[in-house]
Protein backbone atom coordinates (compact mmCIF):
# COMPACT_ATOMS: atom_id res chain seq x y z
CA UNK A 1 0.00 0.00 0.00
CA UNK A 2 3.04 2.27 0.19
CA UNK A 3 2.89 3.25 -3.48
CA UNK A 4 -0.84 4.00 -3.18
CA UNK A 5 -0.28 6.20 -0.12
CA UNK A 6 2.48 8.12 -1.90
CA UNK A 7 0.34 8.57 -5.00
CA UNK A 8 -2.62 10.06 -3.11
CA UNK A 9 -0.35 12.19 -0.96
CA UNK A 10 1.14 13.79 -4.08
CA UNK A 11 -2.20 13.94 -5.85
CA UNK A 12 -4.04 15.69 -3.00
CA UNK A 13 -4.26 19.13 -4.63
CA UNK A 14 -5.61 17.75 -7.93
CA UNK A 15 -7.70 14.84 -6.63
CA UNK A 16 -11.14 16.35 -7.14
CA UNK A 17 -10.56 16.84 -10.87
CA UNK A 18 -11.93 13.31 -11.28
CA UNK A 19 -15.37 14.78 -10.65
CA UNK A 20 -15.10 17.13 -13.63
CA UNK A 21 -15.63 14.58 -16.41
CA UNK A 22 -18.63 15.88 -18.42
CA UNK A 23 -20.06 12.45 -19.22
CA UNK A 24 -20.33 11.58 -15.51
CA UNK A 25 -22.19 14.64 -14.24
CA UNK A 26 -25.70 13.15 -14.35
CA UNK A 27 -24.67 10.12 -12.29
CA UNK A 28 -22.67 12.21 -9.82
CA UNK A 29 -25.66 14.50 -9.30
CA UNK A 30 -27.79 11.45 -8.47
CA UNK A 31 -25.14 10.06 -6.09
CA UNK A 32 -24.84 13.38 -4.26
CA UNK A 33 -28.53 12.98 -3.40
CA UNK A 34 -28.62 9.23 -2.90
CA UNK A 35 -25.76 8.78 -0.45
CA UNK A 36 -26.94 11.42 2.09
CA UNK A 37 -30.38 9.77 1.96
CA UNK A 38 -28.86 6.46 3.05
CA UNK A 39 -26.90 7.96 5.97
CA UNK A 40 -29.47 10.57 7.07
CA UNK A 41 -29.73 11.03 10.83
CA UNK A 42 -26.93 8.55 11.56
CA UNK A 43 -23.44 8.67 13.04
CA UNK A 44 -21.32 7.84 10.01
CA UNK A 45 -17.85 6.32 9.86
CA UNK A 46 -16.31 7.51 6.59
CA UNK A 47 -13.39 5.34 5.53
CA UNK A 48 -10.62 6.82 3.37
CA UNK A 49 -12.37 10.18 3.19
CA UNK A 50 -9.63 11.78 1.08
CA UNK A 51 -10.17 15.49 0.52
CA UNK A 52 -13.66 15.39 2.03
CA UNK A 53 -15.54 15.64 -1.25
CA UNK A 54 -18.26 13.20 -0.13
CA UNK A 55 -18.01 14.25 3.51
CA UNK A 56 -19.48 17.64 2.66
CA UNK A 57 -22.66 16.04 1.27
CA UNK A 58 -23.01 13.35 3.94
CA UNK A 59 -22.60 15.90 6.74
CA UNK A 60 -25.65 17.87 5.58
CA UNK A 61 -28.03 15.14 6.73
CA UNK A 62 -25.96 12.97 9.11
CA UNK A 63 -26.03 13.31 12.88
CA UNK A 64 -22.23 13.17 12.94
CA UNK A 65 -19.37 12.06 10.66
CA UNK A 66 -16.18 10.37 11.86
CA UNK A 67 -13.95 10.66 8.78
CA UNK A 68 -10.53 9.03 8.52
CA UNK A 69 -7.68 8.82 6.02
CA UNK A 70 -4.03 7.75 6.15
CA UNK A 71 -2.68 10.91 4.45
CA UNK A 72 -2.27 14.20 6.31
CA UNK A 73 -2.16 16.11 3.00
CA UNK A 74 -5.73 15.18 2.03
CA UNK A 75 -7.04 15.66 5.57
CA UNK A 76 -5.72 19.24 5.53
CA UNK A 77 -7.80 19.93 2.43
CA UNK A 78 -10.84 18.16 3.90
CA UNK A 79 -10.76 20.33 7.02
CA UNK A 80 -11.10 23.44 4.82
CA UNK A 81 -14.43 22.28 3.37
CA UNK A 82 -17.55 24.30 4.35
CA UNK A 83 -18.97 21.79 6.83
CA UNK A 84 -21.65 22.08 9.54
CA UNK A 85 -19.98 23.28 12.74
CA UNK A 86 -19.18 20.54 15.24
CA UNK A 87 -20.61 17.75 13.12
CA UNK A 88 -17.47 16.32 11.47
CA UNK A 89 -14.32 14.91 13.04
CA UNK A 90 -11.37 14.21 10.73
CA UNK A 91 -8.57 11.96 11.95
CA UNK A 92 -5.73 9.79 10.68
CA UNK A 93 -6.19 6.01 10.51
CA UNK A 94 -5.33 3.00 8.37
CA UNK A 95 -8.33 2.20 6.17
CA UNK A 96 -7.86 -1.58 6.21
CA UNK A 97 -7.24 -2.33 9.89
CA UNK A 98 -9.24 0.72 11.08
CA UNK A 99 -7.08 0.69 14.19
CA UNK A 100 -7.98 3.58 16.49
CA UNK A 101 -11.32 4.19 14.79
CA UNK A 102 -14.17 4.80 17.28
CA UNK A 103 -16.72 2.01 17.57
CA UNK A 104 -20.50 2.28 17.73
CA UNK A 105 -21.27 4.24 14.55
CA UNK A 106 -24.59 3.16 13.01
CA UNK A 107 -23.56 3.87 9.41
CA UNK A 108 -20.46 3.75 7.24
CA UNK A 109 -19.44 5.14 3.87
CA UNK A 110 -16.38 4.40 1.73
CA UNK A 111 -15.93 6.20 -1.57
CA UNK A 112 -13.46 4.84 -4.11
CA UNK A 113 -11.59 2.78 -1.52
CA UNK A 114 -12.82 -0.75 -2.14
CA UNK A 115 -11.12 -0.86 -5.55
CA UNK A 116 -7.76 -0.12 -3.91
CA UNK A 117 -7.90 -3.08 -1.53
CA UNK A 118 -6.14 -6.23 -2.67
CA UNK A 119 -8.44 -9.22 -3.03
CA UNK A 120 -6.45 -11.04 -0.36
CA UNK A 121 -7.11 -8.20 2.12
CA UNK A 122 -10.82 -7.65 1.49
CA UNK A 123 -11.90 -10.11 4.19
CA UNK A 124 -9.73 -8.27 6.75
CA UNK A 125 -11.19 -4.90 5.74
CA UNK A 126 -14.79 -6.17 5.85
CA UNK A 127 -14.23 -7.76 9.28
CA UNK A 128 -12.59 -4.58 10.62
CA UNK A 129 -15.48 -2.48 9.35
CA UNK A 130 -18.12 -4.77 10.82
CA UNK A 131 -16.37 -4.85 14.19
CA UNK A 132 -16.52 -1.06 14.52
CA UNK A 133 -20.18 -0.61 13.63
CA UNK A 134 -23.26 -1.21 15.74
CA UNK A 135 -25.65 -4.10 14.90
CA UNK A 136 -28.08 -3.14 12.16
CA UNK A 137 -25.82 -0.36 10.85
CA UNK A 138 -26.20 0.69 7.22
CA UNK A 139 -23.17 0.63 4.93
CA UNK A 140 -22.77 2.42 1.59
CA UNK A 141 -19.73 1.72 -0.56
CA UNK A 142 -19.20 3.69 -3.77
CA UNK A 143 -16.69 2.93 -6.50
CA UNK A 144 -16.06 2.85 -10.24
CA UNK A 145 -17.50 0.65 -12.93
CA UNK A 146 -15.00 0.20 -15.76
CA UNK A 147 -16.20 2.28 -18.70
CA UNK A 148 -14.28 1.94 -21.95
CA UNK A 149 -13.18 5.35 -23.22
CA UNK A 150 -13.78 7.07 -19.88
CA UNK A 151 -11.83 4.93 -17.39
CA UNK A 152 -8.04 4.78 -17.34
CA UNK A 153 -7.02 1.54 -19.13
CA UNK A 154 -5.90 -1.43 -17.04
CA UNK A 155 -2.14 -1.82 -17.42
CA UNK A 156 -1.66 -5.27 -15.91
CA UNK A 157 -3.15 -8.05 -13.79
CA UNK A 158 -1.21 -9.86 -11.06
CA UNK A 159 -1.28 -13.55 -10.10
CA UNK A 160 -4.02 -12.93 -7.54
CA UNK A 161 -6.26 -11.28 -10.11
CA UNK A 162 -5.78 -7.68 -8.93
CA UNK A 163 -5.70 -5.13 -11.74
CA UNK A 164 -3.58 -1.98 -12.01
CA UNK A 165 -3.57 1.35 -13.83
CA UNK A 166 -0.72 3.69 -14.75
CA UNK A 167 -1.68 7.20 -13.65
CA UNK A 168 0.14 10.42 -14.45
CA UNK A 169 0.10 13.45 -12.14
CA UNK A 170 0.10 17.07 -13.34
CA UNK A 171 3.85 17.29 -12.61
CA UNK A 172 4.53 14.37 -14.96
CA UNK A 173 5.10 11.70 -12.30
CA UNK A 174 3.70 8.30 -13.21
CA UNK A 175 2.45 5.86 -10.59
CA UNK A 176 1.16 2.30 -10.84
CA UNK A 177 -2.07 2.16 -8.84
CA UNK A 178 -4.06 -0.88 -7.74
CA UNK A 179 -7.60 -0.54 -9.14
CA UNK A 180 -10.00 -3.47 -9.09
CA UNK A 181 -13.39 -3.60 -10.80
CA UNK A 182 -15.45 -6.23 -8.93
CA UNK A 183 -18.61 -7.86 -10.21
CA UNK A 184 -21.89 -7.66 -8.28
CA UNK A 185 -21.46 -11.31 -7.28
CA UNK A 186 -17.96 -10.64 -5.94
CA UNK A 187 -19.26 -7.71 -3.90
CA UNK A 188 -22.11 -9.75 -2.47
CA UNK A 189 -19.74 -12.57 -1.53
CA UNK A 190 -17.27 -10.22 0.16
CA UNK A 191 -19.86 -8.40 2.29
CA UNK A 192 -21.88 -11.51 3.20
CA UNK A 193 -19.96 -12.32 6.45
CA UNK A 194 -21.21 -9.13 8.12
CA UNK A 195 -24.40 -8.26 6.21
CA UNK A 196 -27.97 -9.33 6.89
CA UNK A 197 -28.95 -7.92 3.49
CA UNK A 198 -27.20 -6.15 0.63
CA UNK A 199 -27.77 -5.01 -2.92
CA UNK A 200 -25.77 -3.25 -5.63
CA UNK A 201 -27.05 -0.20 -7.50
CA UNK A 202 -25.16 -0.27 -10.80
CA UNK A 203 -24.72 2.80 -12.99
CA UNK A 204 -22.65 3.23 -16.16
CA UNK A 205 -19.66 4.80 -14.43
CA UNK A 206 -20.19 3.85 -10.78
CA UNK A 207 -21.58 1.17 -8.50
CA UNK A 208 -23.07 1.62 -5.06
CA UNK A 209 -23.21 -1.27 -2.60
CA UNK A 210 -25.83 -0.75 0.11
CA UNK A 211 -25.91 -3.20 3.03
CA UNK A 212 -27.46 -3.58 6.44
CA UNK A 213 -25.38 -5.37 9.04
CA UNK A 214 -26.42 -8.36 11.13
**Which pLDDT score is estimated for 185?**
94
Q: What is the pLDDT along the chain (214 residues), one digit of tens a residue?
A: 556 656 555 566 677 888 999 999 999 999 999 999 999 999 999 999 999 999 999 999 999 999 999 999 999 999 999 999 999 999 999 999 999 999 999 999 999 999 999 999 999 999 999 999 999 999 999 999 999 999 999 999 999 999 999 988 888 888 899 999 999 999 999 999 999 999 999 999 999 999 999 9
**Which pLDDT score is estimated for 170?**
80
Angstrom distance (rounded) from CA 212 to CA 214 = 7
| The pairing of beta strand 174-178 with beta strand 195-202 | unpaired
The predicted-structure confidence for 153-175, as pLDDT tens digits, reads as follows 999 999 999 999 998 888 888 88
Angstrom distance (rounded) from CA 50 to CA 74 = 5
CATH superfamily of this structure's domain 2-144+183-213? Vaccinia Virus protein VP39 (3.40.50.150)
**Which pLDDT score is estimated for 171?**
82
Give how far Cα 45 sits from Cα of 36, 72, 211, Å. Answer: 13, 18, 14
Q: Identify whether the C-beta of residue 18 lies closer than 8 Å to the C-beta of residue 54.
A: no
**Which pLDDT score is estimated for 5?**
58
Hey, how many other C-beta atoms are within 10 angstroms of the C-beta on 62?
A: 25
C-alpha torsion sign, points 36, 211, 110, 144:
negative
**Which pLDDT score is estimated for 9?**
54
Half-sphere exposure of 34 (CA within 13 A, CB side): 18
**Which pLDDT score is estimated for 3?**
60
Amino acid sequence: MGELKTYYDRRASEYEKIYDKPERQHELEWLRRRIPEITKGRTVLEVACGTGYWTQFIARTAKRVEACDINDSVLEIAREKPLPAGRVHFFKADAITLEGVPSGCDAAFAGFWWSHVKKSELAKFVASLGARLSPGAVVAILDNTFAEGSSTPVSRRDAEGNTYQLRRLANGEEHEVLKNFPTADELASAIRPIAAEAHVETLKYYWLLVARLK
